[in-house]
Chain A
Amino acid sequence: MPQVKIIAKNFMDMVAALPALKLDMLYDNGFICEAVLRSLPPLAKKYVLQMLYIDNSIPAKSMEEWVLAEGLSKHKNAIDRLTQLRVFLETVDRKKETSYILNPKFQSNLRKYLMYGGVSPREPMPSSVTVRLPSLEDLEAYALEQWESFLLQLISPSQADKPTNFSSSVMKVFQRGLLSQRDKEAPRLTEKGFQFLLMDTNAQLWYIIREYISNSEDRGVDSADLISFLLELSFHVAGEAYNLNTLTEVQRNTFKDLADLGLVKLQQGRKESWFIPTKLATNLSVSLSDSSSRKQGFVVVETNFRTYAYSSSKLHCEILRLFSRVEYQLPNLIVGAITKESLYSAFQNGISSEQIISFLQQNAHPRVAERTPSVPENVTDQIRLWETDLNRVEMTPAHLYDEFPSKDVFEAACDYARDNGGLLWDDSKRMRLVVKAEIHMQMREYLRRQKQ
């Protein structure tokens, strides 16, 4: 699912887009270094490790010798990423030779990691203070419930059971781009909104967090601080309790929002209060490179186009309704059918067949997920066919040329257009031709030269 990847990566783009000074400041924190390293493509990670104990800079030329010819594009990609994130610092010497050196802060932090291993950013609170902690299952259920009620409020505010802590202005920021509202009408999901709903939880989470961070300056919170805080959060152990007093005032305010998203659970003891990170929070940095969530699927699709979704969630029902006709709903089961009409309305809303298919595949019930293909082939083929039905007419911006002075000029023009890959149609009898808009300027130039 390309969409997911783009969004997950975008977060690191956001980090990369920070000014150099701020970025270097972020690398003071060992956890950021760790998270950034883990978000890199495999080859780039490898390079960092290789360079970790090399203090001299390495010429770009000799680096290229590390890879085979097939891997050169991957190599370039890795180096680009590393320089963007200022993990590698580029230097150009007098002979115009580029060489790279590992960012010293980054280097020293990672060396520390190698010596001491992974540590938790905070000591968990002793179990004598926190008497009853929720079990991991309870915590996960809590996280999912919070997240779903947030999503439901996001897409259809009227249906939400309980209001969240977010102010309506923050909520508006999240909805920007996902919902469109014409005056006095109920808000409608946009194309992007639909795509958002079909993404997996981690990708959705990153999208929301990205919006949250980009909005942070308006709330008077430094975005670099917020990024480092969120990345640090992901290194806590899920299910352990951590004291809230170790946080700054700003961070504590942020936590209220994070609790609404289901990232942390806040609890109040007799004297102290603490937070318990959930799986959603600890998966944050994992999902930067690995966009898939590892939750169980729930949908069974049969060859007769019927779908059985073993779920009681309202959100799942809403999502299924996007592209199928929901027929009836039992306490733990939603039965629907994929029909031509239901798909047409989905396509009209900007959902592509690939998205629907990959949603069905990613959320396949464990019983059918073992089989290949997990969604029957006749169904996937039919979904694709119905989509191509709609795309019989293809539009290409073009220009029409006519009134050529002679046959020769016309044919030369045809050949020229064909050679440039821009000829769409020609009629030799009436001496007319149509070329793509891209080569219009070239074509005009060419004809002018012919005239002289």
Chain B
Amino acid sequence: MASIPSKLYSDDVSLLMLLLDTNPFLWTGANTTTTSLPFPGFLTHVLSFLNSILLLNQLNQVVVIATGVNSCDYIYDSSSSLQKTADSSENGRMPILCSRLLSKLEEFVIEDERLSKDDSPEGIVSSLLSGSLSLALCYIQRVFRSGPLHPQPRILCLQGSPDGPEQYVAIMNAIFSAQRSMVPIDSCVIGAQHSAFLQQASYITGGVYLKPQLPDGLFQYLSTVFATDLLSRNFLRLPKPVGVDFRASCFCHKKTIDMGYICSVCLSIFCKHHKKCSTCGSVFGQALGDTSSTDRKRKTPET
């Protein structure tokens, strides 16, 4: 017998956690390819997208988390802004959602810059995706615990900067906890290259991974694919994963590797042989493989 009380919310009420990549290295420096769109243009698309989610259902909720290089923070929450509409509507011309989000975003970017260390970075620095994923999951857990009535949550990563292999463990942990709480992670990659982390995240949690061909039409991608509520996903043809990069990062040097050594006790991954596992402390036997390495490889590449 279907329990009626649990169905008090209709199926398409959703809570969207949007992770916004604010990496300055992505938006200014190396990102000079002609097809990609500048940050203001990007924001316009995103703001319209947020409005469209709120338009679809009165009970829909969006939360925006900014992912910086050194920190991440909540910058907009549609549920909390409802009460304070009166004081912010004074400045008139700008819509409330935009003005609130933009001012918080500015604060965040300044704060993020202040936190950065002085040593000059080499190339593009990755942004703190693991942190913002954790923030999103915390928020979702709070919503889950708030009572039997809650919207269906999902996470959307708008990511442009390359993966940071040093975040591998944290990100994988976040992915698996999202999988356990049945929260799909959608990813829309706006950078130049594919993101192996996000491919895995969407693959494992049953979300959609998409790298738009034409970043100028970002809104159309967002509204066509990522605005779909979880119920309708059962009926619609959405982009399927073409290929997922399952490569892992080693725990010792944080490098992405094709082949490596795995601790037989805790499954930690290492790029070369160690005497002792740095995670669980198990002592490994003699590395026979050092001398006759070809048939001793512990992890074979997927071909």
Interface residue ranges, A against B (CB under 8 Å): 1, 34, 37-38, 42-43, 45-46, 49-50, 52-53, 65-68, 70-71, 74-75, 110, 113-119, 124, 237, 285-286, 289-290, 292, 294, 297, 358, 361-362, 364, 369-370, 372-374, 380
Would you call B300 an interface residue if the criterion is a C-beta within 8 Å of the partner chain's C-beta atoms? no
Q: A294-B8, A374-B5 are in contact. Are A117 and B237 (CB under 8 A)?
A: no
Would you give the shortest CB distance from B216 to chain A, in whole angstroms?
12
Does the CB pair B52–A49 fall under 8 Å?
yes
B3: chain A residues at CB < 8 Å are 361, 372-374
Does the CB pair A49–B223 fall under 8 Å?
yes
Does the CB pair A42–B52 fall under 8 Å?
no
Q: How far is A289 from B11 in the complex, measured between Cα atoms in Å? A: 10
B237: chain A residues at CB < 8 Å are 65-68
Does the CB pair B55–A114 fall under 8 Å?
yes
Residue picked from A37, A290, A374, most chain B C-beta under 10 Å: A290
Of the candidates B11, B13, B227, which one forms a contact with A46 in the assembled complex, judged by CB atoms under 8 Å apart? B227
Would you give the shortest CB distance from A404 to chain B, in whole angstroms?
48
A380: chain B residues at CB < 8 Å are 1
Q: How far is A221 from B219 in the complex, measured between Cα atoms in Å? A: 42
Closest A residue by C-beta to B98:
A117
Closest B residue by C-beta to A123:
B89
Of the candidates A53, A289, A373, which one forms a contact with B219 in the assembled complex, judged by CB atoms under 8 Å apart? A53
Interchain pairs with CB closer than 8 A, number: 110
Q: Which 9 A-B pairs have the closest CB atoms?
A: A71-B235, A42-B12, A117-B95, A290-B10, A114-B48, A117-B97, A114-B51, A292-B8, A116-B95
Q: Can you report 27 A-B residue pairs in the complex whose CB atoms are below 8 A from each other?
A: A38-B55, A46-B228, A46-B232, A49-B56, A49-B227, A50-B224, A52-B52, A53-B223, A67-B236, A71-B234, A71-B236, A110-B55, A115-B95, A116-B51, A117-B97, A286-B59, A294-B8, A294-B149, A297-B5, A361-B3, A361-B4, A364-B5, A369-B5, A372-B3, A372-B6, A374-B5, A380-B1
- As a 0/1 sequence over residues 156 to 196 of chain B, the CB contacts with chain A under 8 angstroms (1 = contact) are 00000000000000000000000000000000000000000
B52: chain A residues at CB < 8 Å are 49, 52, 114
Would you give the shortest CB distance from A102 to chain B, in whole angstroms?
13
Closest B residue by C-beta to A235:
B58
Q: A38-B56, A68-B236, A117-B98 are in contact. Are A358 and B4 (CB under 8 A)?
A: yes
Would you give the shortest CB distance from B111 to chain A, in whole angstroms?
26
Would you give the shortest CB distance from A424 to chain B, in whole angstroms?
32
Would you give the shortest CB distance from A198 to chain B, in whole angstroms?
13
Does the CB pair B58–A117 fall under 8 Å?
no
Q: A42-B232, A45-B56, A115-B51 are in contact. List 7 more A-B contacts (CB 8 A).
A: A49-B55, A53-B219, A67-B235, A71-B235, A237-B85, A285-B58, A292-B7
